[in-house]
Chain A
């Protein structure tokens, strides 16, 4: 079957999709977006987390046919998504012209060449990335939490990230990264 939906702001058409296929498979194998990771295919690890109409979900548990006509944001589109959100709330700190130039630099679909989002930068700065397999899912989940809750407590962060497993870091650096992103977000406003 054919599935039409929007990914990272762009209309996409996936063809020859098997009816039992997951959104994760379509993203990775049919649309060339391998950012969302496949580690468990059973909702346990969160490494496949994307936003479906704004809501964080495990893309391995969404049937491809269920996304017809809907909007998906993956880690590849996260920087662009964060940028647009900042500009919409008038806190982007760049002129319209700058923003347009910045958009022209990168590819909003694959994320290549774009500046990192604040959460992505914070993960690097805090040393929260080791093997990196869990990172895309954590970034999408953390970014969504900061959108809803700009001043999270440690308990809020743990709760929001409780569906994302990391086998490398022991989570402390991830906590640091999210606190850092929240603090920077607070300064920027």
Chain B
């Protein structure tokens, strides 16, 4: 094994082009488990910790550019207002020690269906900025997940940053597990209200071979909210609409039975989380509407 220590992004791209099998290591919270247990013996390990920019973020007009190695702890502490869904999801990852090292770049690199960042990124809307010596491109998050633990990266590409849309409305993240800390999701659900475009977006974790959006459920809900004038009148969402939304979310899952839960439990739990996160975010939307109206 060789240990590569690029000191800059350009060096890292050059090294990855020369050794496409090199395994990047950022927080190491996935890579080191595999090496410690001899599940993986890469020819080259490539340390990304020396590349300072990867641990930085910038808050722009429309979106936040989140460096690939920004640890979950920093997201929780600094980006709660801009990226509430991702901040909530970050807080459910493992333990403080893991959150101090692991980040979204590694979560995307592993592309596990159970990765907690994914439902939040899908719901908020995001693009993954990747680069190789051949050039840079931005992959929409919906096109990033290609299969169980497979993503859209070419062998010579690295993830530089993730551009996540800044929240324009309430967001929620919900996760089912056996305890609060240190738990891989049995399944997870992210939901974001986008009042600016009058749309709702979702993300489901651990209930299909890849993280997915519940597109049919989103379309149904967007139409129902539009038709009933809910965005303007701020009324409570009709229980039948919420139920239909939840059922469609369950239906968009394609789960398996495994040690953490059965497929039918996952489908059920996703429906429950869909209804709850919709209720929570909608209540919060109505609350902000009341305050703005009250102030006017």
Chain A positions near chain B (C-beta within 8 angstroms): 1, 18-20, 22, 41-44, 46, 49, 55-58, 60-63, 65-66, 68, 141, 159-160, 162-164
Are the CB atoms of A62 and B28 closer together than 8 Å? Answer: yes
B172-228 at interface with A (beta carbon < 8 Å): 180-182
Q: Which of B1, B25, B42, B96 has the most CB of A within 10 A?
A: B96
Q: How far is the CA of A55 from the CA of B27 in the complex (A)?
A: 12
Instruction: Give the top 8 A-B pairs by smallest Cβ distance, nearest first.
Output: A163-B95, A162-B181, A19-B1, A19-B3, A65-B3, A61-B32, A41-B36, A163-B97
Are the CB atoms of A63 and B33 closer together than 8 Å? Answer: no
Q: How far is the CA of A66 from the CA of B28 in the complex (A)?
A: 10
Q: How far is the CA of A159 from the CA of B95 in the complex (A)?
A: 8
Q: How far is the CA of A57 from the CA of B94 in the complex (A)?
A: 12
Q: Which residues of A contact B1 (CB under 8 A)?
A: 18-20
Chain B positions near chain A (C-beta within 8 angstroms): 1-3, 5, 25, 27-29, 31-33, 35-37, 41-42, 45, 47, 49, 94-98, 100-101, 180-182
> Which of A41, A56, A61, A164 is the one whose CB lies under 8 Å from B29?
A61
Q: Is the interface of B mostly helix, strand, loop or mixed?
A: loop
Are the CB atoms of A57 and B101 closer together than 8 Å? Answer: yes
Shortest CB–CB separation between residue A6 and chain B, in angstroms? 16
Q: How far is the CA of A76 from the CA of B37 in the complex (A)?
A: 27
Are the CB atoms of A163 and B98 closer together than 8 Å? Answer: yes
Q: How far is the CA of A133 from the CA of B9 in the complex (A)?
A: 41
Shortest CB–CB separation between residue B150 and chain A, in angstroms? 23
Total cross-chain contacts (CB, 8 A): 88
Are the CB atoms of A20 and B97 closer together than 8 Å? Answer: no
Q: Which residues of A contact B182 (CB under 8 A)?
A: 44, 162-163
Are the CB atoms of B32 and A62 closer together than 8 Å? Answer: yes
What are 13 residue pairs bridging A and B, where the CB atoms are less than 8 Å apart in the complex? A18-B1, A20-B35, A43-B94, A43-B98, A46-B97, A61-B29, A62-B101, A63-B25, A162-B96, A162-B180, A162-B181, A163-B94, A163-B97
Are the CB atoms of B3 and A58 closer together than 8 Å? Answer: no
Are the CB atoms of A66 and B2 closer together than 8 Å? Answer: no
Q: How far is the CA of A164 from the CA of B95 in the complex (A)?
A: 8
Q: How far is the CA of A164 from the CA of B27 in the complex (A)?
A: 19
Q: Which of B41, B100, B180 has the most CB of A within 10 A?
A: B100
Are the CB atoms of B101 and A61 closer together than 8 Å? Answer: yes
Q: How far is the CA of A20 from the CA of B23 in the complex (A)?
A: 11
Q: Which residues of B contact A66 (CB under 8 A)?
A: 25, 28, 47, 49
Q: Can you name 14 extra interface pairs (CB under 8 A) apart from A43-B97, A162-B181? A: A1-B3, A20-B42, A44-B182, A56-B100, A57-B97, A57-B101, A60-B36, A61-B29, A63-B35, A141-B96, A160-B96, A163-B94, A163-B98, A164-B95
Contact (A58, B98) CB under 8 Å given A19-B1, A20-B41, A41-B36: yes
Q: Which residues of B contact A22 (CB under 8 A)?
A: 32, 36
Q: How far is the CA of A14 from the CA of B115 in the complex (A)?
A: 35
Chain B residue nearest to A137 (CB atoms) is: B97
Chain A residue nearest to B27 (CB atoms) is: A61
Q: How far is the CA of A171 from the CA of B41 in the complex (A)?
A: 38
